Structure 1
Amino acid sequence: MRVKPEHQFAPNPAGDRIDSRDPVFAGSAPVTGAGEPVVDWEKVVLVTATVGVFAVATGLSSPLLALVLKKELFSDLLIGANAAMTPIGLLTSALCVPRFAQRVGGSRAAVGFALTAAAALVLMAIFPMLWVWFPARFVLGLAIGGFYIVNKAWLNEIAAPAYRGRIVGIYAAVLAAGFSLGPFALALTGSSGWLPFAVGISALLTAALITAIFARRLPGFAVEQRASVASFLPRAPVLLVAVGVFGLFDQATLAFLPAFGVRNGFSEQTMAVGLALLNAGNVVLQVPIGWLADRFPRRLVLAGCSVAAAGGAVLLTLAVRHEPFALFAFLFVWGACACGVTTVALAELGDRFGGPALLAGSAAFTLSSGVGGMLGGPLTGAAIDKAGDSGLILVLAGAYGLLGLVVAAFPLTRRSGRSRTD
């Protein structure tokens, strides 16, 4: 059963001078003859299209910057240290963005973050020097994290509860597609000169322009109420664990899955395709997972994705013994199940929280994902050093197996203004 939330919204000083409440919960949304709320697909398309364009730039920037530094003959240690500035910026954004977005308004914050990210890329294109790139990449990570935090909060505010899982699934699919298009664009432009930077900068400016044009149609965040990441953490620990586990999976597979395949007889090119298909599953299968989350108890769907991902890690040892086509099909489904926990978690976040708490929750998701990603590489690397290829299996199966136990043993969230029967 769903009930109307008790939180309130207010216009913010950014010019978001519209009623920013979720119209479904406010009781003002149009409904069908059966009493079901009608989804405002214009807003859904607006938010998902904007994040998709923005994701093209973020998907392009990491490999582009690594290649440029490699051409400049910097050591792998310096390249890795410079790359670490982006996730550090992401983690920092989780701590400061919620109150900043409340103070200046969601739309102004999002436009500012997109423009800041574009300025960071311009600076790095003009000055390919480490003393510039270290602070610039920190600012880039901060801006990327800030934009995503606001954008995800918007998505959950406009999503009709009965369709929230599917809407989040569409969002996750578009986001994954944008990330995939970034490296593809880099393959077309190459890493030399201004052109690849121009593609990324153009994508960021486009996201800023779309947000600015449609600012009045996007939700604001009440300034009368305050919510911090620290205050949110104990309210949804299971959801945060789910997001953190996928962050670990993402970084572990990016870093170690290609080498795992090569050691088991596949070529580097084959594993590159396999890694792409691991992400492609996120594009194609997140909507069906979201549909399941709308039709069945979210706890059950989250547990199912966790068990499937843990079992997939174990089956990986069998999949690499077959032909590439079988491996590709396996990776396609396995990646979708692993990412599915974040789709379900984000949908549940939107059902349980609203307003400033939802903004803080979106930031907490970013924080948890960053922590999981930072742990994924070192933890998996240490396990592989100790146990060989079995180390990768043990870490991934263990992480998702533990998540499944946590989902079974604890409530997904503590009671809040929004309620939904698990």
Structure 2
Amino acid sequence: MAQTLASISALLLSVAMLVFGHGLQTTLLPLAAAKASFTNLEIGVVSSSYFFGMVLGCLAAPHVIMRAGHIRAYAAMVSLMSAAAIFHPILVDPFSWSLIRIISGFCLAAFYMVVESWLNERATNENRGTVMSIYIVILFGFMMIGQISISTMDITSFVPFAIASVAVSLAVMPVALTTTTQPAPIALVQFRPVKLYRNSPAALVGTLLVGVANGALWTLAPLYGSQIGFNSDQSAFYAAAIIGGGMLSQWPIGRVSDLIDRRLVLIGIGVSTALVALVIAFLSPTGFYVAAGLAVLIGICSQPGYAIAVAHAFDYADPEDFVETSSGLLLSFGIGSIIGPFTASILMNHTGPGGLYFMVAAAEIALAGFVLARLFARQALDPEEKYDFEYAATAQVGSVMSPEPLDVDADNVIPPEEFPAYEDPIYDPEAQEITEEVIIPEDEHRHGHRLAADTTEENENGEQATVEKREDS
């Protein structure tokens, strides 16, 4: 385990720096937009634009990575994200900020894909859960640190935008200077919502509705805090409290879902989140500590929803469909997250700050109602038929994670970047060298192969002949 962590330390350091800058922007932008006299609707559009970019990234970033390779794609996307961050104080208008956030969302989707495929390949089946859990803790921990760091800055100045850009820029260095080999090309998967729905309607609709609620909470909580009278520091801590509450409850609620029907847990999440949201909407607490306590509570109730829905989908999916399932549900979540901030901003325009929580309550009630209907449509699985809950495989961050990825013997895999344009080296594991070259189709040589040992078989003339066997890796 120590050797594995040492090999990925540069990658984890890069994650910490980038998500620090991302977390800072997440809290900074709605507060700075309000100071710049953006309307609630304009702030909602800017917030939704980030998730629109992320959905585009989930669809297009794999092609960028396959074309350029992990390290070059990573460096390009992180550099572009850094440049986008510094343009916010230069082009202060809703349209420009929306375009910038689309770019940031796209780049972050590519970042997650590179990082998670890299971590998956470095980990073994024995320590994969630990490695990915450390990654998740670093990711959300430094995102929270980035959020609350705004309390030391003047949001009307150029400084916080510059710090966010510098933090993102520095995230390139650990990976660019690493001496470890980059992972094999990522697998392309299709988004097939009909198949996902047939596999688990509760999971597909559930992730969509959780995205509506959580997308609005993540992006508009700082704006809500400022509109009920909090200063910038308090608004930042208020937004971070929601994420912190979610971190506290993910694993306990996930383990409970192993023991009972996960749909019952989703119903509980929907009902409890709706109740807390309605309390916040009607009480409109203006005392910071009361409001922060309620923010932690709604984070505890709402944030595990995505992970439970994905775990429920895994219970019914075939192992070979895990990557497609997690990718499809992440897209569903992203689509919901586009809808959430935009809808909430409209309600905030008409009903005041509490409109955010009215919208959250409506989405969570719809979630509970739909999943309740599904209880009567499909019998629950026995606990022993389900996969154990693993938050690292169900977190709403990337799209290449799988609960039980196939272990690949790196010694028997030829890196794609070493392949000639139309030639595929034949690798002899015994000799540890390339022994022969053969011509293969263009569409095969880019994907990498695991080469099995040669065998001797009779050909059609009855003579002994050596046969080279190849398996896809």
Contact 1:91 1:367 in 2 (8 A): yes
The answer on 1:310 being equivalent to 2:271 is yes
The counterpart of 1:286, out of the listed 245, 250, 261, is 250
Alpha-carbon distance in structure 2 between the residues aligned to 1:326 and 1:70: 24
Structure 1, unpaired ranges of 5+: 1-29, 31-37, 413-418
Map 1:3-152; keep pairs closer than 5 Å: 40-42=4-6, 48-68=12-32, 78=42, 80-128=44-92, 133-152=97-116
Decide whether the 8 Å contact of 1:249 with 1:376 is kept in 2: yes
**How far off its partner does 1:40 sit?**
4.0
Can you list the C-alpha shifts for 1:342-373, whole angstroms capped at 9, x where unaligned? Answer: 33456788997889973x55653442222112
Q: Give the aligned partner of residue 183 of structure 2.
A: 219
Show the 5 A alignment for 1:8-407: 40-42=4-6, 48-68=12-32, 78=42, 80-128=44-92, 133-155=97-119, 170-214=134-178, 216=180, 219-222=183-186, 226-230=188-192, 234=196, 238-253=202-217, 268=230, 275-289=239-253, 292=255, 297=258, 300=261, 303-304=264-265, 306-314=267-275, 317=278, 328-329=292-293, 331-344=295-308, 358=323, 363-377=327-341, 391-392=358-359, 394-402=361-369, 404-405=371-372
| Cα gap change, 1:306 to 1:363, in 2 (>3 Å) | same
Find the structure with the greater CA-based Rg: 2
Give the CA deviation at 1:85. Answer: 3.3
Change (3 A) 1:279 1:82: closer
**Secondary structure of residue in 2 paired with 1:219:** coil
More helix per residue: 1
Q: Per chain length, whose mean CA-contact separation is higher, i.e. which structure has more relative contact order (CA < 8 Å, sep 6+)?
A: 1
Total equivalences in the alignment: 372
Specify the code of the residue in structure 1 equivalent to 2:167: A
Give distance in 1, aligned partners of 2:16 and 2:242: 19
Cα distance in 2, alignment partners of residues 211 and 244 from structure 1: 33
- Distance (whole Å) between structure 2 residues aligned to residue 347 and residue 167 of structure 1: 19
How far, CA to CA, are the matches of 2:12 and 2:97 in structure 1?
Answer: 30
CA 1:236–1:101 in 2, change beyond 3 Å: closer, same or farther?
farther
> d(CA) in 1 for partners of 2:260 and 2:65?
31
For the Cα contact (< 8 Å) 1:238–1:407, is it kept in 2? yes
Q: 1:277: Cα distance to partner?
A: 2.2
Question: Compared with structure 1, are the counterparts of its residues 308 and 102 closer, same or farther at alpha carbon in structure 2 (3 Å cutoff)?
Answer: same
1:401 CA displacement: 1.0
- Measure how far apart 1:94 and its partner are: 2.0
Q: 1:170·1:287 contact (CA, 8 Å) conserved in 2?
A: no
Answer yes or no: is the 8 Å Cα contact 1:164–1:347 preserved in 2: no
Give the Å deviation of 1:250: 1.7
Q: Distance in 1 between matches of 2:319 and 2:176?
A: 23
* Structure-2 change in CA distance of 1:49 and 1:355 (3 Å): farther
- Deviation string 1:296-348 (CA, Å, 9 cap, x unpaired) is 73874564254134224225556887998677555424413422233345678
Contact kept? 1:250, 1:373, Cα under 8 Å: yes
Structure 2 unaligned blocks of 5 or more: 381-385, 390-473
Counterpart contact for 1:298–1:348, Cα < 8 Å:
no
CA shift digits 1:254-302 (9 cap, x unpaired): 5887999999xx8657887554422211233434456x28xx7387456
Deviation of 1:245 after TM superposition, in Å, equals: 2.9
- Between the aligned partners of 2:298 and 2:288, the Cα distance in structure 1 is 15
**More strand by percentage:** 2
CA distance in 2: counterparts of 1:361 and 1:82, whole angstroms? 29
Residue-by-residue CA offset, 1:99-154 (whole Å, 9 max, x unaligned): 33233333332332111101222344555566755543332222122222433444
CA distance in 2, matches of 1:173, 1:327: 25
- Structure 1 counterpart of 2:107, which letter? A
Asked whether the equivalents of residues 225 and 238 of structure 2 are also in contact (C-alpha less than 8 Å), the reply is no
Aligned residues with identical type, % of pairs = 20
Partner Cα distance (2:40, 2:345) in 1: 17
Contact 1:94 1:145 in 2 (8 A): yes
RMSD after superposition: 4.9
Q: State the TM-score, normalizing by the size of structure 2.
A: 0.60
Deviation at 1:252, TM superposition (A): 4.0
Q: Partner amino acid for 1:103? A: R
Instruction: State how far apart, in whole Å, the 2-side matches of 1:354 and 1:108 are.
Output: 31
**Cα distance in 1 between the residues matched to 2:379 and 2:3:** 28
Q: TM-score under structure 1 normalisation?
A: 0.66
Q: Please state how far the C-alpha of 1:45 moved relative to its aligned partner.
A: 5.8
Task: Report the AA paired with residue 98 of structure 1.
Answer: P
Is the CA contact 1:145–1:366 (under 8 Å) kept in the aligned structure 2? no
> Secondary structure of 2:303's partner?
helix
In structure 2, what is the Cα distance between the partners aligned to 1:261 and 1:71? 13
The CA distance in 2 between the partners of 1:233 and 1:45, in whole Å, is 38
Render the CA deviation track for 1:65-108: whole Å, top value 9, x for unaligned. Answer: 44555555566655554454333222211221123323333333
The letter of the residue matching 1:307 is G
Q: Deviations over 1:176-204 (max 9, x none)?
A: 32332223223322234442222112221
Gap change, CA 1:231 and 1:209, over 3 Å in 2: farther
